[in-house]
Chain A
Amino acid sequence: MTASTVSSEVVLRAEDLVKHYPIRAGVFRRTVGWVKALDGVSFELHKGETLGIVGESGCGKSTLGRTLMRLEEPTSGKLTFGDVDVFSQRGAQMRRLRRDIQIVFQDPYTSLNPRKTVGDIVGEPLEIHPDVVPRSGRRRRVQELLELVGLNPEHISRYPHQFSGGQRQRIGIARGLALNPRVIICDEPVSALDVSVQAQVVNLLEELQRELGLAYIFIAHDLSVVRHISDRVGVMYLGQLVEIGDEDQIYNRPTHPYTQALLSAVPVPDPTLRNARDHIVLTGDVPSPANPPKGCRFHTRCWKAQDNCVTEMPGLDLRPDGVSEHASRCHYAEPREVV
């Protein structure tokens, strides 16, 4: 849908992002191991594009969002915004850069300070970056932002508790927009909302993208929402991208067994398809990211696993999907229709 507005200009490029958290134990809090939350994630985000990131809990998708915001310092890897190396920026330069990459959090109930008015919340980025809008114009700018996200500008001095969940998420989005960012990272922005309200917020995000030429990283576990909003989709499993491609490629011609299993498990709101769809049932749970399987991370649950899957980690390489080719991290990648 947004295909026309996506340009070839790369706004954000992640190369081999790694984030390991130490596991400490004992009296001296010695490091006894590492949780490999992100283990070599690379992708490009184009101007005006939505890149969806899906995966189950613990796959590292939220860590990815936080690392892109530099709310977490990466263990290694490189992130370039335009032609600026994000992770080497310090102090004022980093602050300047933060204007361009903003985040909208999942829970509109805990991500807004209950003791501040909406005006304070949305206006706070403008206080921190005083040169964006002169002081005299800030109140008007906040009202413009509220209007932009579909809230009544007269409600500027209300408190978060006076708004519903959907409205609070709009406040969070207004705050994210305050500094005219080019990239917004949406970490499960509609997961906490009821379906009827969820659609309103999804529509708002799409409108804003069209109007302002924003690029989104849209992190979510709901594969239907991600399909709806995304131009491209990346699937994560145990800290790695296992497959990435156009929305059409991922949903109609997935080649990685994990993607296929994930998609086949999503219920479709149509009872006539009850027995028509292929259900791939995975056994067991996701292994611990502190001790991920050697070789292909998915081999312990994969029905196609061969000897070399156990020893040799497949690369995220372009592999044929029947029509074209897209990147998949499987030695035995082949398309299968599951949706």
Chain B
Amino acid sequence: MASTTKLVDKTSSWQPTDGLLLEVDDLQVEFRTRDGVAKAINGVSFELREGETLSILGESGSGKSVSAQAIMGILDSPPGFITGGQVRYCGTDILTLPEEQRRRIRGPEISMVFQDALSALNPVFPVGWQIAEMFRKHRGTNRTDAMAQAVRLMERVQIPGAKQRVRAYPHQFSGGMRQRIMIAMAIALDPAVLIADEPTTALDVTVQAQIMSLLKELQTERRMGLILITHDLGVVADVADRIAVMYAGRIVEQADVFDLYAQPGHPYTEGLLESIPRLDQKGQRLAAIGGLPPNLMHIPSGCPFHPRCRYAEDVCRADPPPPLREVGVHRLAACHVSERLLAKEGTPAQAGPAPATGAGDGGGGDAGAHHGDHGDERGGDGDMDGDMGGDGDVEGGSGR
């Protein structure tokens, strides 16, 4: 079916050169609120190629969803404003295009799957009608044909009894089925780029596995560029080709998935990998990252991660923040001490971190002192110092 739909409208003026679909270049977004200006995105740059899966990994407030909204052109404005940068789709900056033309990109070219299907779907229209709307609005397909296309799409995303259920309403479906319907809508016009914003976060693990394999399958079939936004390090390890880790509105590390998990090049990534419990290992204590992510209205000077970083040195506290620079083959990191982390070869973070501060520059002590500033999450800090050394052996499960 992919080919038939393609024939209808894809005379497409949009042709990627060298498979390069999307270039985000120094994107800046801020939210102007009554309490002040929150700098949600502070210079984000990345590229996406055909058939590639780029995972944007980050915690709440890191700016990963806002990036997606800015690319899609669905940022709530006000309060959100894009204050700088470019988003180039097939070489054209789409941020400066008039709304009329953007609409022709949103859906047919770049499309999006949201986290919460129940609130993203319209509760008062049947799901088939909502999928068919894509064809009617964008392609001028008549009702009967659009509905037939909707049924075919529902079959494609493996909704059992698609023909009968095309007239059902969103609330009559389970969470997993609703997410499939959203995916059907997103791929309806055969987009070149699909952005999936936490597509499985609200779902149970068995359903999550089904949805991820469906997404993967569709991507291969259509050679879509997929941007997968998530906070789940497990999902990322399973599907991503490349990973961009975000913190406080910046990309702090970008690397190939295998390289990143083998040896993170940024202390934040390292901290994340150490702080998650693993299904296949009964660990000792979790090495929590002390402190809290920064308030986006008062981002710390220098590297935004320095108050929580166990390697922090004077240079990290001073402006300008470390730029995202090349620290290895195909890998970028925004950190002054990246090289030192990457030198810790052969000790994958998840297999038990070497006591990193053993390098002897008192990094651990620094970290402690800084958490003191934060005061509030003191429980976490205590953990930190203790854990760095104590997390060495992990195979405790077998010992019991």
Interface residues of A (CB under 8 A from B): 1, 3, 56-57, 149-152, 155, 163-164, 166-167, 170, 194-200, 202-204, 206-207, 221, 223-225, 227-229, 246-248, 251-252, 261-263, 265-274, 279, 281-282, 284-285, 339
Question: Is A267 a contact of B257 with CB atoms below 8 Å?
Answer: no
Q: Does B328 contact A (CB under 8 A)?
A: no
10 A-B interface contacts by CB (under 8 A)? A1-B284, A151-B379, A164-B377, A166-B377, A196-B272, A196-B289, A200-B383, A269-B278, A271-B240, A285-B177
Q: Inside 8 A of B74's CB, which chain A residues have their CB?
A: none
Q: Inside 8 A of A206's CB, which chain B residues have their CB?
A: 285
Q: Inside 8 A of A271's CB, which chain B residues have their CB?
A: 237-238, 240, 257-258, 261
A156 to chain B, nearest CB (A): 13
Interface residue from B271, B279, B375 paired with A152 (Cβ < 8 Å): B375
Q: Does B358 contact A (CB under 8 A)?
A: no
Q: Inside 8 A of B235's CB, which chain A residues have their CB?
A: 267
Question: Is B205 a contact of A223 with CB atoms below 8 Å?
Answer: yes
B268 to chain A, nearest CB (A): 9
**Bound CA span A164–B380, Å:** 13
Question: Is A221 a contact of B205 with CB atoms below 8 Å?
Answer: yes
Q: Inside 8 A of B257's CB, which chain A residues have their CB?
A: 271
**Bound CA span A251–B282, Å:** 9
Question: Is A194 a contact of B397 with CB atoms below 8 Å?
Answer: no
CB-CB nearest 4 A-B residue pairs: A150-B379, A267-B234, A228-B277, A199-B288
Question: Is B282 a contact of A163 with CB atoms below 8 Å?
Answer: no
Best-buried of A265, A274, A284 by chain B (most CB within 10 Å): A265
Question: Is B205 a contact of A56 with CB atoms below 8 Å?
Answer: yes
Question: Is A269 a contact of B59 with CB atoms below 8 Å?
Answer: no
Known: A196-B272, A267-B212. 14 other contacts (CB 8 A): A164-B377, A167-B376, A199-B287, A199-B288, A200-B379, A200-B383, A203-B286, A203-B383, A228-B283, A246-B400, A251-B279, A266-B205, A270-B237, A339-B280
- Contact of A267 with B204 at beta-carbon distance under 8 Å, contacts A1-B284, A224-B278, A252-B398 already known: no
| Residue in chain B with minimal CB distance to A152 | B375
B200 to chain A, nearest CB (A): 10
Q: Does B83 contact A (CB under 8 A)?
A: no
- Contact of A227 with B279 at beta-carbon distance under 8 Å, contacts A150-B380, A194-B60 already known: yes
- Contact of A195 with B276 at beta-carbon distance under 8 Å, contacts A248-B400, A271-B258 already known: yes
Question: Is B209 a contact of A281 with CB atoms below 8 Å?
Answer: yes
Question: Is B400 a contact of A3 with CB atoms below 8 Å?
Answer: yes
Question: Is B289 a contact of A199 with CB atoms below 8 Å?
Answer: yes
| Residue in chain B with minimal CB distance to A192 | B60
Question: Is B383 a contact of A274 with CB atoms below 8 Å?
Answer: no
Bitwise, B80-123 to A at CB < 8 A (1) or not (0) is 00000000000000000000000000000000000000000000
Interface residue from B206, B271, B375, B380 paired with A265 (Cβ < 8 Å): B206
**Bound CA span A268–B279, Å:** 7
Question: Is B289 a contact of A247 with CB atoms below 8 Å?
Answer: no
**Bound CA span A80–B174, Å:** 37
Question: Is A195 a contact of B279 with CB atoms below 8 Å?
Answer: no
**Bound CA span A229–B240, Å:** 29
Question: Is A248 a contact of B288 with CB atoms below 8 Å?
Answer: no
| Residue in chain B with minimal CB distance to A194 | B59
Question: Is B204 a contact of A270 with CB atoms below 8 Å?
Answer: no
Interface residue from A149, A194, A195, A261 paired with B206 (Cβ < 8 Å): A261
B183 to chain A, nearest CB (A): 17
Question: Is A195 a contact of B397 with CB atoms below 8 Å?
Answer: no
Best-buried of B207, B350, B379 by chain A (most CB within 10 Å): B379
**Bound CA span A229–B397, Å:** 11
Interface residue from B177, B236, B240, B286 paired with A228 (Cβ < 8 Å): B286
Question: Is B400 a contact of A202 with CB atoms below 8 Å?
Answer: no
- Contact of A266 with B60 at beta-carbon distance under 8 Å, contacts A56-B206, A150-B382 already known: no
Q: Does B45 contact A (CB under 8 A)?
A: no
Q: Inside 8 A of A284's CB, which chain B residues have their CB?
A: 160
Question: Is A262 a contact of B205 with CB atoms below 8 Å?
Answer: yes
Q: Inside 8 A of A281's CB, which chain B residues have their CB?
A: 206, 209-210, 213
Interface residue from B238, B271, B283, B376 paired with A151 (Cβ < 8 Å): B376
Q: Inside 8 A of A262's CB, which chain B residues have their CB?
A: 205-206
Q: Inside 8 A of A221's CB, which chain B residues have their CB?
A: 204-205
Q: Inside 8 A of B69's CB, which chain A residues have their CB?
A: none
Q: Inside 8 A of B350's CB, which chain A residues have their CB?
A: 269-270
Q: Does B231 contact A (CB under 8 A)?
A: yes
Bitwise, B337-364 to A at CB < 8 A (1) or not (0) is 0000000000010100000000000000
Q: Does B369 contact A (CB under 8 A)?
A: no
Q: Does B163 contact A (CB under 8 A)?
A: no
Question: Is B59 a contact of A265 with CB atoms below 8 Å?
Answer: no
| Residue in chain B with minimal CB distance to A261 | B206
Best-buried of B207, B238, B279, B288 by chain A (most CB within 10 Å): B279
| Residue in chain B with minimal CB distance to A164 | B292
**Bound CA span A271–B234, Å:** 9
Q: Inside 8 A of B127's CB, which chain A residues have their CB?
A: none
Within 8 A of A (CB), among B259-281: 261, 271-273, 275-280
Best-buried of B257, B276, B287, B396 by chain A (most CB within 10 Å): B276
Question: Is A267 a contact of B238 with CB atoms below 8 Å?
Answer: yes
**Bound CA span A58–B270, Å:** 35
Q: Inside 8 A of A251's CB, which chain B residues have their CB?
A: 279, 282, 397
Bitwise, B207-219 to A at CB < 8 A (1) or not (0) is 1111011000000
Question: Is B275 a contact of A195 with CB atoms below 8 Å?
Answer: yes
**Bound CA span A221–B202, Å:** 11
Question: Is B379 a contact of A227 with CB atoms below 8 Å?
Answer: no
**Bound CA span A68–B59, Å:** 34
Q: Does B2 contact A (CB under 8 A)?
A: no
Q: Inside 8 A of A229's CB, which chain B residues have their CB?
A: 277
